[in-house]
Structure 1
């Protein structure tokens, strides 16, 4: 089912050439500001959650949903935002995403109950999905792929620094006199500034054409993905992984996604153009992005927990302990971005990044509650360097093989699968962590002759380890520390898929034109393999 839009609707911002560098830099500053606050908001609450739950009378189940709700809606709406940017003004859509995010942030800070907070976090996620998907699409409308590498490096650095530094900022706010509500309000002034900066500096030519919006495909896609992510978030907690509830939710999700694929294959303007997957390079870039999301989001969520619960650090100190990963990711992203722009080559950095990420994940799989923190900093630096080399270069590879008319859909698709990998990975890793921690606590307490029931309940359902008796506290800290290594072992296994994907990628120099139609096809490249748009 599609809906015809008026012929006067603004659609793809199709520039004839690169904009002046000064204008690009001003607009780019606004884009980075918006991305910064969006990504900060997704992790800033991690260290504030114990205080929030105590204030609002929340439960352990609601603890997870404060994080999951935002990740879920941002993931599900990313491909929709991406496709809309191919049909309407990218500038107006980006500003709309900022407005939705800001409204959600204000309301989240005013929450009087946990259900309200979860709902408003979901609103934040809708805006975040737009900011994640549209920043690369806007950049692609201003800059050629060859020059885009250096800017993509800064995007990757901002994305990663915000994701990993969020817990540090949240810890500082919670430990101050401001209170946890400012974890949501602190980003509002910056988001407003980004809105104004983009309004004044972003100037993209707008053309008009008759478009048809695929509302049915968007609804089916969002519904199927949302149901799948809800299952990932609840399985192993509210019900068993192997249960009738699991079977029903997975079956319903599969049916919705299969019908969505059927609809997308038939409509003229699909939200997720299936023909893009007919290109080997695009498909491999999407596949390679899955492990990046798992490694990045998993590290941000579980490392803060490791340092606080297993090693006994304060929220602020726990955030500082992740600085080796933050710094290496920043350097890796910016340096590789500049070299990519200079050489026009991406595969060497993708292969190197995937191998370094695999090495970092494998080394972190040896972590337990007694690991030397100096060596752990080295392992985290390797993890960050790998993610930095992969994060935006995979998006750049996908953008390089599509025309400007499909740039939003292609960008949104890669971002969607990266975030999907993060959302599903965090949920699955969380279930693995909970199961391993409970088993280790039971066995350790039984060996010490301590009653198991209450201790396991206390260690598994709350994160207030300091309130436990000393013998039980030691067991719980050791259990969390020892189980963390298992999470990175799973991450290393997923990273193997990324290594294979980037090795199979065919090297293709980045083009020097904004649109693929303006670039002469080179013999032996895959430029001619992408089906023509009808």
Structure 2
């Protein structure tokens, strides 16, 4: 049977690399990515339960315990933006394989560590690779999957996170509790998984490679590394090596401020900045990074000390300590999977974020009441809340940012959020670790004094409970239980701050196209150029009429004493950015213009009203939706700020299967209620343009004589988007019914059946014996003719022109 051409509309660029990936292709590529992510998480969790034993064997202190974790987080923090920038410039596949290799090398060194310094160094090397893996997995998923669908696949990410988090402590505990293995195998266990991930990625991951010259902002990386390291060193040693209020504190904090200032200056002049500062004009990104900072503090900082709680406060073995954390992991796995599905089905994410932040805050607040003898069922409930909160916030904070940046900024935007989360984690581990050391020392001193013991002696290293007498062991357990409870109590306000910040993030429904599709449609329609700003003219496009209703501005009225009576003054902004050149028009109730002003570079305007009364203020700028609001002017001057929202545009090209532009094709845009918001026809070049459409999801329908009509969903944001539409020819089957010796047969009844045997058309031949079926889809059909002995015949409809099909009936000529 001949191949049947697809009748579906294609909306991507014709290159194979821009064709949206199928679910199978995505899952194949994800297999390697998720395996790499599994390795990253496993490297942290497998060590967490073994770390008390490792630190004890190496005769290290609580500060070393903290820095084994902080070193990894700091390396991840510093390198995450670099990996994200590289992802925007070179092969993502090569980068993630390189990250895996670095991780394997770091693991091998860690397994050979014989002193705290070597262990911390090896963990830093592991952090370099882990930073690449954590950042690149998010970037690659964004390149393959649309934001709307990404929630579904984020559920798989959450499941892998849960599996590694559950399996890690159990594996680590078993390794430590097995005498013939030893804790060094905690670092070796991830190596086989990393090697398998390398092989799988080589076979399954195939993404387009950016062809741009690589420029890494090494100065910016050095400055931000120095600032972060100096801040963490201060947090780690203040209160133990020197007083909080001392010259060392002043020097370190002052140095941190200087390095941050130099970093900001360097980023303003760098051609490829490690953190593009202009991205922070996007309100969602600014708030999401701030929220991620505090989420990182509570996620890494507080959960790091759970293993110490179970082993040092409750006296459990490393294996049992791993089992004890299962409620938190279960909450994380279930919440991330369910929330991912909800986000995919609804396109809404803010309620999930708020709920997750609230659950985290409540969970950490309740964990603050922990003591060494707290009932486990209470602890389990608290851990479920914490896990559920983390599962609902971690991925969605990255997702909401990816939804609002351009494709070429996807890597650096994603890594910026991860950067601040890792930075928060590093600060949290250092600060809360220092707090824990201080509180445990305080409680130990008081507890030992109560039983007549002045100190434990030794070098201040973390004690082994099994080697302590029963009375002293009870004091140590109580001290660690109370101290770790204090750590959780201090983490709760950080979670609350994250919730408050999330409340100010404006929710924008998730896009339904991935970054490759967006870039491809823009390049295909604009000849490889980026889309212009909303409202700009588009060459070769016919402008369609638009009947959308303009929404009122979001504005706040304030009364000021420094202005004259009747004066109206304020600022015009877009997302906090001043809008210059905006025209402000003031009209009275009779519709007469009584004032007009144009904003300056700072977005400020000043108008005067002739007296008290009600007036209408209209604000308009070329790239934004016009806004109108009613003002009441009395005896006091009025300050009125206006927020303009960028209007999106919908442009595109309509072509046939042969690539020829289709002129006068009917184009109709309808909203979710089916109401037509714009309509028109394409020009001679096949172009169309809807210049100003309020952000939302619409249906674009295109039809033309001789072609099959098509309809597709389109999502319009604050910038102009382009849509490529291909129309396939109108498919038809026609022919003549003939009989031997008599020619054509009039009034013969002809039926057309589809492949399933269903009748799709019935016709009666005319005087010339001809029949004609139109408006068919591609496929295999059967033509039957009756009136004479029934004759059937199969016909293949390909969709490229008419299919002529004559039938000869069975009666011989008389």
Q: Is the pair's TM-score, using the shorter chain for normalization, greater than 0.5?
A: yes
Q: Which residue of 2 aligns with 1:498?
A: 498
Contact 2:91/2:209 (8 A) holds in 1: yes
Residues 156 and 391 in structure 1, CA contact (< 8 A), matched pair in contact too:
no
Verify the 8 A CA contact 1:289 1:418 in the aligned structure 2: yes
Closer, same or farther: CA 53–429 of 1 in aligned 2, 3 Å = closer
Q: Residue 96 of structure 1: which of 98, 103, 116 is its match?
A: 98
Q: Which range moved further: 293-302 or 160-169?
A: 160-169
1:427, distance to aligned residue in structure 2 (A): 1.4
The counterpart of 2:75, out of the listed 68, 73, 76, is 73
State the partner residue of 1:209.
212
- Which range is displaced more, 292-301 or 340-349? 292-301
Partner of 2:581: none
Checking the alignment, whether the CA contact within 8 Å between 1:165 and 1:326 is kept in structure 2 is no
Corresponding residue number in structure 2 for 1:42: 44
CA distance in 2, matches of 1:101, 1:385: 29
Equivalences for 1:177-192 in 2 at 5 Å? 177-192=180-195
Which of these residues, 23, 27, 44, is aligned with residue 21 of structure 1? Answer: 23
- Quick check: which one's helix share is greater? 1
Please name the residue that 2:276 is paired with: 273
Closer, same or farther in 2 for the Cα pair 1:60/1:357, shift >3 Å?
closer
Once the two structures are superposed, residues 490-512 of structure 1 have per-residue CA deviations (whole angstroms, 9 ceiling, x without a partner) of 11101111111111111110011
1:238 aligns with 2:241: yes
Using CA pairs below 8 Å that are at least 6 residues apart, which structure has the higher relative contact order? 1
Q: Which moved more, 1:117-126 or 1:513-522?
A: 513-522
Aligned partners of 1:438, 1:189: CA distance in 2, in Å?
41
Partner of 2:479: 479
Confirm or deny: 8 A CA contact 1:33 1:191 kept in the other structure: yes
Counterpart Cα distance in 1 of 2:367 and 2:58 = 36
Give the distance between the partners of 1:247 and 1:59, measured in 2 at CA.
26
Alignment of 1:504-515 (within 5 A): 504-515=504-515
Which residue of structure 2 aligns with residue 385 of structure 1? 388
Distance 1:478 1:69 in 2: 29
Measure how far apart 1:325 and its partner are. 0.4
C-alpha distance 370-286 of structure 1, shift in aligned 2 (>3 A): same
Mapping of 1:165-180 within 5 angstroms? 165-176=167-178, 177-180=180-183
CA contact (8 A) 1:36 1:158 kept: yes
Other-structure match for 1:465: 465
Alignment CA distance shift 1:349-1:273 (3 Å): same
Instruction: Return the match for 1:144 from 146, 154, 158.
Output: 146
SS where residue 305 of structure 2 aligns?
A: helix
> Normalized per residue, which structure has more strand?
2
| 8 Å contact from structure 1 (residues 279, 529) kept in 2 | no
- Give how far 1:57 is off: 5.4
**In structure 2, which of residues 401, 406, 409 is the aligned counterpart of residue 403 of structure 1?**
406
Partners of 1:287 and 1:157 in 2: how far apart? 26
Does the aligned pair in 1 maintain the 2:63–2:434 contact within 8 Å? no
Name the structure 1 match of 2:436.
433
The alignment's C-alpha RMSD in Å is: 2.4
Q: Does the Cα contact within 8 Å between 2:73 and 2:127 map onto a contact in 1?
A: yes
Identify if the C-alpha distance between structure 1 residues 186 and 494 changes in structure 2 by more than 3 Å, giving closer, same or farther.
same
Alignment deviations for residues 64-117 of structure 1 (CA, whole Å, 9 cap, x no partner): 332222122111111111111111111111111111111111122123433222
Shift of 1:343: 0.9
1:133–1:412: 8 Å Cα contact kept in structure 2?
yes
- Based on CA coordinates, which of the two structures has the bigger radius of gyration? 2
Match of 1:523 in 2: 694
Work out whether residues 76 and 226 of structure 1, in 8 Å CA contact, stay in contact via their aligned partners in 2.
no
Instruction: Note closer, same or farther for the CA distance 1:114–1:443 as it changes in structure 2 (3 Å cut).
Output: closer
Counterpart of 1:316?
319
User: Aligned partners of 1:477, 1:180: CA distance in 2, in Å?
Assistant: 23
Distance 2:192 2:101 in 1: 12
Mapped partners of 2:77, 2:242: distance in 1: 23
1-structure distance, mates of 2:60, 2:431: 22
Moved more, 28-37 or 287-296: 287-296
| TM-superposed deviation, 1:58 | 4.5
Tell me how far apart the structure 2 counterparts of residues 437 and 107 of structure 1 sit (CA, whole Å): 32
Mapped partners of 1:265, 1:112: distance in 2: 44
SS at match of 1:171: helix
The 2-side partners of 1:292 and 1:183 are apart by 27
Query: SS of the counterpart of 2:47?
Result: coil
**Per-residue displacement from partner, 1:13-66 (whole Å, max 9, x unpaired)?**
x96353122111111011111111112112322333344345555555433332
Q: Distance in 2 between matches of 1:15 and 1:508?
A: 28
Aligned partner (choices 338, 345, 354) of residue 335 of structure 1: 338
2:555 aligns to what?
A: none
> Is the contact made by 1:149 and 1:340 (CA closer than 8 Å) also made in structure 2?
yes
What secondary structure sits across from 1:505 in the alignment? coil
Could you say if the C-alpha distance between residues 325 and 56 of structure 1 is closer, same or farther in structure 2, counting changes exceeding 3 Å? closer
Structure-2 change in CA distance of 1:112 and 1:480 (3 Å): closer
**Contact kept in structure 2, 1:354 and 1:499, CA below 8 Å:** yes
**More displaced, 433-442 or 374-383?**
433-442
- TM-score, structure 1 normalization: 0.91
List alignment gaps of at least 5 residues for structure 1.
Answer: 1-13
How far apart are residue 210 of structure 1 and its match?
3.8
Distance 1:219 1:493, change over 3 A: same
Q: Partner of 2:488 in structure 1?
A: 488
Structure 1 residue 143: Cα displacement: 0.8
1:496, 1:529 → 2: CA distance? 34
What residue is the counterpart of 2:569 in the other structure? none
TM-score by length of 2: 0.60
Aligned to 1:326: 329
Instruction: State which of 86, 89, 99 in structure 1 corresponds to 2:88.
Output: 86
Partner of 1:369: 372
User: Mean Cα displacement is larger for which, 303-312 or 51-60?
Assistant: 51-60
Q: Matched residues in 1 for 2:218 and 2:421: separation?
A: 24
Note if contact 1:153-1:392 (Cα within 8 Å) is conserved in structure 2.
Answer: no
Moved more, 476-485 or 389-398: 476-485
Change (3 A) 1:159 1:235: farther
1:288 deviates by 1.5
Distance in structure 1 (CA, Å) of the matches to 2:367 and 2:291:
21
Deviation at 1:153, TM superposition (A): 2.7
Question: 1:233 Cα deviation (Å)?
Answer: 3.1
